Structure 1
Amino acid sequence: MKFKFLSVVMMSALCFVGSAKAQETSDPQKETVIVDEFTRTTAVPSYLTEGIRANVIEGFVSKGRFHVVDALTNDALKALSAKRVAEDNVDASNVMNSESEAVYKSLGAKYLIKGKVTDRTVTREKDVLSDSYSWYSKISLSLTVYNILDGSTVASKNIQLTGVNSDSSEKADMNAVEDAKKEMRSFVDANFKFKTFIEMIESADKKKGAKELYIVGGNEMGIKKGQVFKVYYVKQIGSRTTNQEIGALKADEVMDGLTKCNVTKGGVEINDIFNSEGRDKLVIESAGNTREKVGGFFGF
């Protein structure tokens, strides 16, 4: 009888541990992004398209939290590309097929980036203030992100790249190409939010609540000192779950695997929820390009 009772207790304990383990928050991981070959119209020279694509790649790489796969240098993707004709009109209905899906998934990729450079205009205009002439280049880029798991569109944007130079139209073109780096940082900030959780509250007081805390993710995820994060409370309303913004953090010390942050807003709420309901009820999310200027870059 004792043995039977102990068996039941042990089984219950194992079930509890298993359940608790399943609910643990997972550490943030780098996501794999494939940048496909870009298409262009006849109005755009190939070297400009190639330069823009290179800067789109750089925009993802500079964030430090992506594995970026170049479709023009990866052997499996080059073989796939050789079997198909580049689509003039790519959308969710034709971006995926069984063969391409298998290749993408074999690389562990989550997202596919496709781009088309659709237009380019160059003009020479006079500045009324300086009474001098400059070359202006405007290049249009259509960018789409697909979810490889289901072929759905994650984000789509028409981006206007601009460049100015007083010497030549060629230099104005290259300045427009460089503009893609800045535009991509904003694009990634808006569409690829970094999400994590609080590991530990370092210091708190009764009046201000949490003052310093650690979040999971550091150098390996591209976090920079001065990075701003929003704090959300995962709130249950009836049968639905919603995220309610309650606070803000600012990265102070970035380490491997962890970042020490100062709490700039919502210290009382953060401290109360963390201690009473657990860290799973608080989501930390990158706040886009609201971060102070650090090392010449904005955003995350």
Structure 2
Amino acid sequence: MEFIDLHCDTLLRAFTGGQETIYDLPDCMLDVKRMKSANALAQFFAIFMLPLGHDTVFTSETFEDDFYIESLLKIFQNTMTQYGDIIAPAYDYKSYQANKAAGKMSGFLTFEDGRAINGDLDKLKKYYDFGIRLISLTWNYKNCFGYPNSENPVVMNQGLTDFGKEAIPNMNDLGIIIDVSHLSDGGFYDVAKLSKKPFIASHSNYRGLSPHPRNLTEDMIRVLANKGGVTGINFCPKFLSSDITSKESKVSDMILHIKKIIKFGGEECVAIGSDFDGVTGNLEISSVDKMPLLFESLAKTGISSATIDKIAYKNAERVIKDIL
């Protein structure tokens, strides 16, 4: 089964592990070598912005943003150059289709946390020229775009900043996918109001099944679907389970979320956003080569092959075409 994954943090893992490419990373959940064996069509590779002044599970070191971004870009570019026979960068639907026709996988570059834009539309264009084609507007802290998801209802209801509101139509015009995963509820509805194009939640599930603020409500799923967007099923245990402290990521829970999203948003509204190399726990699909298990399990529940194709790659393809 061919598939497109809308989010992973593998570039960060390669950087902290001192790797020059992402071709063969046995200690990671994903690499290009296993993507090929799993029949991947495309992977969205995030440049996750390490939060300033906050500890993370990813690294205890601090790096200047420019050095860090350039380092991850270099790892991506090294991979595309050295393994150009099997994977190539994609910048729009045309280049994605050209790679597909040539039997190559596609790599899309993204920002997780738009902090690097620093409230400057010229920087937005600069990073577009570098190849960035998706921006998760926030991570878990406020930035120039707006407020993050939060258990604090005051924060959760805050929307986009003035710059964030100005940036949305500019991202539409440039051809940058707007990603609301990690964004506050208020920010979500601001994006829905302001965006002329579809937008996505690259790696978020249904809040009715897992009450984590990172997930989407029923109404949000309906709004997202009406705008022509998708949400990518996240494999993180606490975004799947009814117990948000859970360490267990089960395919059966993924299927429950998928079915609910289809119920509220239709079968065109759900995609894959694994969050590989950004999640921990006991994962039933713990690496990219195990991805077929999800599609096989969906088929066993009676979901049609046509619908599984949409979930696996066709919905993501449509988003790429409509936005890029």
**How would you bin the TM-score normalised by the shorter chain?**
under 0.3
Q: Which has the higher contact order (CA 8 A, sep 6+)?
A: 2
Q: Provide the TM-score with structure 1 as the length reference.
A: 0.25
Structure with greater helix share of residues: 2
